[in-house]
A and B are shown apart, each in its own frame.
Chain A
Amino acid sequence: MEPDEGEGVLCAVEQDDEKDAGDRASSPDMTQTPRPAPRSVDQDAAVDEARLRQQAIGVRLRQMFDEVVNEPIPDDFLAILRRADDKGPSGGPS
């Protein structure tokens, strides 16, 4: 990767984030969002690369989370609820 593209990438990501945030929060009519005027090939490439990087991080983030989700539940957890049961259906004090 070229060292001098850093700033362009960051700006692009910022724009992308805001658009993304709006879409996901309240699902606005996406047809109302005007696409920016066509830009130079270089800028497009930088934007694409920034998006790819963010996508890659997002994918990894879910992978990191799912890795734990897919682990078997340690026995301790189920023991807690069994003990809670022993206290009777109305629960113990405090």
Chain B
Amino acid sequence: MIQRTTPDAASEADFKLELVALIPQLRAFARTLCGDAAAADDLAQDTVLKAWDARASFQMGTNMKAWTFMILRNQFYSEKRRSWRQTQLDQEAAERTLVAVDDPGSPVALDELRLAMQMLPSEQREALILVGAGGFAYEEAADICGCAVGTVKSRVSRARRALQNILTMGAYDRDGAPAGDAMGAILADAERLSGPR
């Protein structure tokens, strides 16, 4: 797979500029996938390096954001296969933390959403974040995830319902006692946040 196209210095500079501009979004996507900030930055750095190494195979003018998100996602799953046990431990930690939270203040609501997100299967989590926050169309998200558009739609829809369940009914709570009204706190801020953007 050695491609000996003479790299044009100007287009390499363009590539790098575009790649650097995508770093914040790659970090955000990685944070959603990993949960843990340090692991997420490692993942995003690996992605930047891989994208740079693969720059010869990228066609300038096509969607670099989708291309890098796909690299990041593939990297995440290949690492996850190697460290499935770590992932399980993270999940348990997330559940323990969530039950302990009971302050209904608004910053907590964001934390609870973060934790609730970590309880979703990663396929649902990635679909929801790509479409709901990453600004991708369903078709683009399907390309990134390597699945059918209909699959993305149903994952997004299931993710939304699951989040609402977790946040409204405290589905994560093991003792039957309310673990804080996360949904209430989120709703309290909804009007302020959903104002004209």
User: Which A residues are in CB contact (< 8 Å) with B53?
Assistant: 84, 91, 94
User: Which A residues are in CB contact (< 8 Å) with B183?
Assistant: 53
Which of A10, A57, A70, A81 interacts with B52 by CB under 8 Å? A81
User: Mask for B155-191, Cβ within 8 A of A = 1, else 0?
Assistant: 0110011011101110000000000000110110110
What is the size, in residues, of chain A's interface with B at 8 Å between Cβ atoms?
Answer: 43
A61 to B124 CA separation, bound complex (whole angstroms): 14
- Asked whether A65 and B45 contact (CB < 8 A) given A18-B157, A59-B193, A60-B186, the answer is no
- Asked whether A69 and B156 contact (CB < 8 A) given A52-B190, A53-B183, A63-B110, the answer is no
Q: Closest Cβ of chain A: how far from B35's Cβ, in Å?
A: 12
User: Which A residues are in CB contact (< 8 Å) with B48?
Assistant: 77, 80-81
What is the size, in residues, of chain B's interface with A at 8 Å between Cβ atoms?
Answer: 57
Most buried by B among A57, A64, A67, A89: A57
User: Mask for B133-146, Cβ within 8 A of A = 1, else 0?
Assistant: 11001110000000
Q: How many A-B residue pairs have CB under 8 A?
A: 137
A21 to B184 CA separation, bound complex (whole angstroms): 26
Query: Is there a chain A Cβ closer than 8 Å to B149's Cβ?
Result: yes
Query: Is there a chain A Cβ closer than 8 Å to B113's Cβ?
Result: yes
Beta-carbon contact of B194 and A59 below 8 Å: yes
Which of B41, B109, B138, B186 interacts with A24 by CB under 8 Å? B138
Q: Closest Cβ of chain A: how far from B33's Cβ, in Å?
A: 12
Query: Is there a chain A Cβ closer than 8 Å to B61's Cβ?
Result: no
Main SS class of interface, B: helix
**Which residue of A has the minimal Cβ distance to B164?**
A53
User: Which A residues are in CB contact (< 8 Å) with B12?
Assistant: 89
**Which residue of A has the minimal Cβ distance to B2?**
A93
Query: Is there a chain A Cβ closer than 8 Å to B20's Cβ?
Result: yes
Beta-carbon contact of A60 and B110 below 8 Å: yes
User: Which B residues are in CB contact (< 8 Å) with A78?
Assistant: 20
Query: Is there a chain A Cβ closer than 8 Å to B23's Cβ?
Result: yes
Most buried by B among A25, A61, A66, A80: A61
- Chain B stretch 49-63: residues in CB contact (< 8 A) with chain A: 49, 52-53, 55-56
User: Mask for A10-34, Cβ within 8 A of B = 1, else 0?
Assistant: 1001100110010011000000000
A90 to B167 CA separation, bound complex (whole angstroms): 51
User: Mask for A24-56, Cβ within 8 A of B = 1, else 0?
Assistant: 110000000000000000000000000011111
Chain B residues proximal to chain A, CB less than 8 Å: 7, 9, 12, 16, 19-20, 23-25, 27-29, 31-32, 41, 44-45, 48-49, 52-53, 55-56, 109-110, 113-114, 117, 128-129, 131-134, 137-139, 149, 153, 156-157, 160-161, 163-165, 167-169, 183-184, 186-187, 189-190, 193-194
